A = this chain, B = another copy of it.
């Protein structure tokens, strides 16, 4: 098995190995989080491990990612994130001051996101069997009544909105890794999206799909939605907000910003009649100030994402092949 962040490989393993072995019905929907009912409460439940290298990067750290990554997967079900678990795998020899800084960052990120870390675990492995710190968080949140947000609900006519500039997190991590310099310092967009989602739900509980385009970027997220719902997605290429610094860095690195990870952005499929009001609510929130419409959901070419280029032509936006950026989250 080759290495990488595991995004593309993860999808194959989940389909061919994990889902068949685990066999439960809830896993099958493969959302950002699982939606379940327990003791009468409708809950979202999600987990992610974090293996980012380096542990600290412009705009954040593995501690921020561990909170925001899980909080965002919960928020993508429309849930209000509430409680987190947090498990450290420490490599023998890691500096205690580094562990303390990561813990501090994690605690502060949790307070900013309005969630409480309530349980955890700590394991230690020998030097050469880890990489300083690996972190896992799992989270639970409450899904409000009337909310049913999942990829399968994308419908022709839906307006596709992205909450802001794309490609920033992946480029920020790459900019400090292997000493690459692009002149301008690019900071990760890592942020908790629970508040932004609440603002959107205040307009209407009837949002169809939300997804945080992390590993695999916007391109992978749109493809997964198109396949899950059996719909087409038509993107206006010029409407996709890519900052100049990101575009320049991607040119140097040979990357396509459509496939670069984001850690503080979401893409939404919104029924046309609510789109304008939802967009306005997003723009009124600090994390959605640059929200914009990038395309629409169509009945044509089901399962495929097609971009209309600046010159009026069209091209297929494929799933990314393999991993563009290993260990960026």
Contact = CB atoms under 8 A, between A and B. Distances in A.
Interface string A9-36: 1100110011001111111000001101
Interface stretch (A86-94, A148-156, A239-247): A86-94
A40 interface: yes
B138 A85 contact: yes
Contacts of A311: none
A274 to B, nearest CB: 26
A130 interface: yes
A129 B131 contact: yes
How many copies of this kind of chain does the complex include?
2
**Chain A contact surface mostly:** mixed
Contacts of A99: 13, 17
Contact of A94 (B1, B14, B82, B86): B1
Contacts of A43: 38-39, 41, 140
Contacts of A315: none
A51 interface: yes
Given A13-B122, A124-B3, A107 B51 contact: no
Contact of A1 (B36, B87, B124, B136): B124
A40 B40 CA distance: 8
A126 B87 contact: no
Given A9-B122, A9-B124, A38-B43, A87 B130 contact: no
B138 A47 contact: yes
Given A5-B123, A39-B40, A50-B123, 9 more contacts: A1-B93, A1-B124, A10-B122, A26-B118, A27-B118, A39-B42, A49-B88, A51-B89, A87-B136
Which 10 pairs show the lowest CB-CB distances between chains A and B?
Answer: A39-B41, A138-B138, A3-B92, A47-B85, A34-B118, A10-B122, A21-B103, A6-B124, A24-B116, A21-B107
Interface of A: 1-6, 9-10, 13-14, 17-18, 21-27, 33-34, 36, 38-43, 45-51, 82-83, 85-90, 92-94, 96, 99-100, 103-104, 106-107, 110-111, 116-131, 134, 136, 138, 140, 142, 326-327
